[in-house]
């Protein structure tokens, strides 16, 4: 069913409730430049909420004269004594939010607070905000301004480009630079993630934001040259949706059995299971083994289940029936049901967990 087109009769400019303002906003988005007459009418006789929508639309629709109109409309506003009335009179400058409008506010002694700007205006105002914070010599003030203007929400491409361009600015403090890197890497901004001058604390997250093959090529030298970061890299690798097969070769050559096992498990690649088999068989019952058996769930393959099943027969693990059953729930197949049923008979204390895993496997494979 086609959505009904809005008309000027769907809102009341003079009443100017929040609902009227929202309806006007949808109407102007529908009409585009053709809604200019309604914008002018809203600016002439609308309430504060309606006027805000109209000012935003005036500049968002790229209609000519928005900046000049805002500057003209606020002439003499600084003479208004009552704070609330003065704020309403200066609202056009905040809505239009061009550099000239924001400079005017600053000249009037009004501190521009990013949080007080409408979201659409905030995006336009960020270049102005960035220029001012880069002109701030005090590191603490620069970092606080950066958090106010850019952090705490997802950024659109234009704002990410602004931050990327600021990374090499000579006045940017080390602390502010790190604050900028975080949202760029999270976005992820591929250009930033490829930089060779990233602080060590950011390298792993940045490289894993790149395609798997490229991430491997860039992180392999880092892994080899930075032993202190190997555990951190392996944990980060385990969080990725996929990884390059080269990691299997890197981890299989490690001297430390614990690190070798952790790395191979983090890949969740089937070829890693063949290398894990002798490692797992050599482990004694204990925390290290239990951690490995837990991590095998991530493979979601019958081959992983084959490495878990032999431990069902070990009485030393009878108290860990819930862990074993849960791991087999994730990767077991109907072929593993007899082993689970036998474990339930041998270990009555864990039977509930084993039989629940049996039901889960059978239901999953019956679909």
Say whether pLDDT at 124 is over 80: yes
**Residue at 200 is within a domain:** no
Q: Are 322 and 294 in contact (CB under 8 A)?
A: no
Q: Are 126 and 144 in contact (CB under 8 A)?
A: no
Say whether pLDDT at 168 is over 60: yes
CA distance 286 to 237: 25
Residues 186 and 215 in one domain: no
DSSP-assigned states of every residue in 118-135: -HHHHHHHHHHHHHHHHT
Say whether pLDDT at 254 is over 90: yes
pLDDT-derived band of residue 364, with 50, 70 and 90 as boundaries? confident
Buried-exposed string 316-352: b where 16+ CB fall within 10 A, e elsewhere: ebeebbebbbbbbbbbbeeebbebbeebbeebeebbe
pLDDT for 119: 85
Count of domains in the chain? 3
pLDDT for 1: 55
Residue 283 DSSP symbol: P
CA distance 158 to 144: 21
Mean pLDDT to the nearest integer, 297-310: 91
**Residue at 85 is within a domain:** no
Residue 97 DSSP symbol: -
pLDDT for 97: 93
**Residue at 231 is within a domain:** yes
**Residue at 5 is within a domain:** no
**Residue at 80 is within a domain:** no
pLDDT for 298: 87
Residues 131 and 186 in one domain: yes
Residues 186 and 130 in one domain: yes
Tell me how crowded residue 285 is: count the other CB atoms within 10 A of its CB. 13
pTM to 2 decimals?
A: 0.79
Say whether pLDDT at 2 is over 70: no
Say whether pLDDT at 111 is over 70: yes
- The crossing angle, in degrees rounded to 10, of helices 139-150 and 174-186 is 20
Dihedral sign (CA 311, 313, 316, 318) = positive
Mean pLDDT score of the chain: 92
**Residue at 129 is within a domain:** yes
pLDDT for 300: 82
DSSP-assigned states of every residue in 227-282: GGGHHHHHHHHHTSS---THHHHHHHT-S-HHHHHHHHHHH--HHHHHHHHHHHHH
Buried-exposed string 13-43: b where 16+ CB fall within 10 A, e elsewhere: beebeeebbebbbebbeebeeebbebbebbb
- The parent domain of residue 263 ranges over 211-274
Residues 250 and 294 in one domain: no
Distances (CA, A) of 127 to 79, 98, 172, 181, 200: 29, 9, 15, 17, 29
**Residue at 44 is within a domain:** no
**Residue at 249 is within a domain:** yes
| CA quadruple 55, 58, 62, 63: dihedral, nearest 10 | -140
Residues 266 and 287 in one domain: no
Mean pLDDT to the nearest integer, 146-169: 90
Closest by CA position to 299, among listed 318, 275, 321: 275
Residues 270 and 290 in one domain: no
Say whether pLDDT at 62 is over 90: no
Which of 223, 251, 274 is the last residue before a domain boundary?
Answer: 274
Residues 358 and 290 in one domain: yes
Lowest mean pLDDT segment, chosen from 62-71, 159-168, 342-351: 62-71
Residues 356 and 290 in one domain: yes
């Amino acid at each position: 069913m086609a959505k009904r087109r809005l008309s000027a009769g769907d809102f009341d400019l003079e009443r100017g409730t929040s609902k009227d303002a929202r309806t006007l906003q949808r109407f102007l988005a529908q009409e585009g430049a053709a809604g200019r007459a309604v914008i002018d009418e809203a600016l002439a006789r609308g309430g504060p909420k309606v006027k805000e929508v109209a000012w935003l639309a005036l500049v968002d629709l790229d209609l000519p004269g928005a900046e000049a109109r805002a500057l003209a409309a606020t002439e003499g506003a600084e003479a208004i004594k009552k704070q609330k009335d003065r704020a309403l009179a200066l609202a056009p400058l905040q809505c239009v939010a061009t550099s000239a409008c924001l400079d005017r506010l600053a000249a009037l002694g009004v501190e521009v607070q990013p949080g007080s700007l409408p979201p659409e205006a905030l995006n336009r105002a960020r270049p102005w905000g960035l220029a001012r914070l880069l002109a701030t010599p005090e590191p603490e003030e620069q970092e606080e301004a950066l958090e106010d203007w850019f952090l705490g929400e997802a950024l659109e491409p234009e704002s990410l480009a602004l931050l990327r361009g600021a990374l090499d600015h000579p006045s940017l403090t080390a602390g502010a630079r790190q604050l900028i890197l975080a949202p760029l890497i999270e976005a992820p901004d591929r250009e930033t993630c490829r930089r060779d001058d990233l602080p060590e604390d950011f390298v792993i997250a940045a490289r894993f934001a790149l395609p798997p093959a490229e991430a491997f090529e860039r992180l392999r030298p880092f892994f080899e040259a930075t032993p202190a970061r190997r555990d951190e890299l392996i944990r980060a690798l385990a969080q990725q949706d996929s990884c390059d097969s080269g990691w299997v070769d890197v981890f299989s050559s490690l001297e430390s059995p614990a690190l070798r096992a952790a790395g191979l498990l983090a890949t969740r690649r089937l070829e890693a299971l063949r290398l894990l088999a002798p490692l797992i068989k050599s482990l004694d019952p204990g925390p290290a083994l239990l951690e490995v058996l837990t991590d095998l769930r991530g493979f979601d393959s019958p081959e992983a289940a084959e490495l878990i099943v032999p431990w069902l027969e070990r009485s030393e693990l009878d108290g860990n029936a819930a862990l074993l059953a849960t791991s087999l729930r994730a990767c077991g197949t109907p072929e593993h049901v007899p082993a689970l049923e036998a474990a339930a008979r041998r270990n009555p204390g864990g039977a509930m967990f084993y039989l629940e895993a049996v039901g889960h496997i059978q239901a999953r494979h019956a679909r």
